[in-house]
Amino acid sequence: MTTIENNLQAVRARIAAACQDAGRDVSQVQLLAVSKTFPAASVQQALDAGQRDFGENYIQEAVAKIGELAGMPAVWHCIGPIQGNKTRLVAEHFDWAQSVDRLKIAQRLSDQRPAHLAPLQVCIQVNTDGGPTKAGVTPEALPELARAISRLPRLRLRGLMTIPEPAADFTSACALHARARALFDALNAQGLALDTLSMGMSADVEAAIHAGSTMVRVGTAIFGGRTRTTA
Ligand SMILES: *Cc1c(COP(=O)(O)O)cnc(C)c1O
């Protein structure tokens, strides 16, 4: 068994245990393997171990990897910042964009999504901490942005994505994640029919699942430590 296969089994076991603790069915939580900075060969090992969904932050690096793995059953999620000059690459190569936080970027993605592909699956990144410099729309501006994005023809709004500040302990991590869950539930109560709440990383999978995450994004615990943290 490869290290990656071993790690994937351990992460799946963590997800299953967290679901059991939270009284949730394990089928309600998807695993996104975050493969940023790791080569196509590592993604291939994860594919061989049954993993299908992969998250990438650096768009140019990802597009090269997606090309190397063309024909493989991988589903690609963009989870990094999307500048205006990168929207075409995202629209043409990814299946999901989880880090959309401005209408202008969403409009470009919709305009540039090729007709022969399924609509781009989208999550809105929300800044639940209120930090002024961090990416993500504010909770106050979220409902209007969600309604506008849900009307764009070549996008399908699936839900929300959050990257909260690391919390000191399980209880405060749960409280942070619960804020995102409340925003998600409120949008659904307004009729948006969202099914994806993307939150939780290697360090806080359990707290995120406890608070109602439907997709955890795990890098380090699957692929190991990253030696590079920028593009
Ligand atoms: C890198 C990254 C992850 C994975 O983080 P780990 O701590 O390595 O599990 C998840 N989400 C986003 C947005 C990331 O940039």
Rg (CA), the chain: 17
Q: How confident is the model at residue 133 (pLDDT cuts 50, 70, 90)?
A: low
Q: How confident is the model at residue 227 (pLDDT cuts 50, 70, 90)?
A: confident
- Residue 164 CB–ligand 1 contact under 6 Å: no
Q: Does residue 131 register a pLDDT over 90?
A: no
Beta strands in the chain (DSSP E): 30-34, 53-56, 75-78, 96-100, 120-125, 155-161, 196-198, 215-218
pLDDT, tens only, 86-121? 999 999 999 999 999 999 999 999 999 999 999 999
- Residue 125 CB–ligand 1 contact under 6 Å: no
Q: What is the DSSP string of 185-211?
A: HHHHHTT----EEE---TTTHHHHHHH
Q: How far apart are CA 213 and CA 6, in angstroms?
A: 24
Average confidence (pLDDT) over 43-59: 98
pLDDT of residue 47: 98
Q: Which atom of ligand 1 is nearest to the CA of 98?
A: 13
Sign of the Cα pseudo-torsion (185, 212, 178, 198, in order): negative
pLDDT mean across residues, the chain: 96
pLDDT of residue 134: 77
pLDDT of residue 231: 60
Q: Does residue 80 register a pLDDT over 90?
A: yes
Q: How confident is the model at residue 132 (pLDDT cuts 50, 70, 90)?
A: low
pLDDT of residue 196: 98
Cα-to-centroid distance, 117 and ligand 1 (Å): 27
Question: To test the ligand 1 pocket, which listed residue (31, 79, 216) has its Cβ within 8 A of the most ligand atoms?
Answer: 79
| Nearest to 11, CA basis, from 51, 54, 58, 64 | 51
pLDDT of residue 97: 98
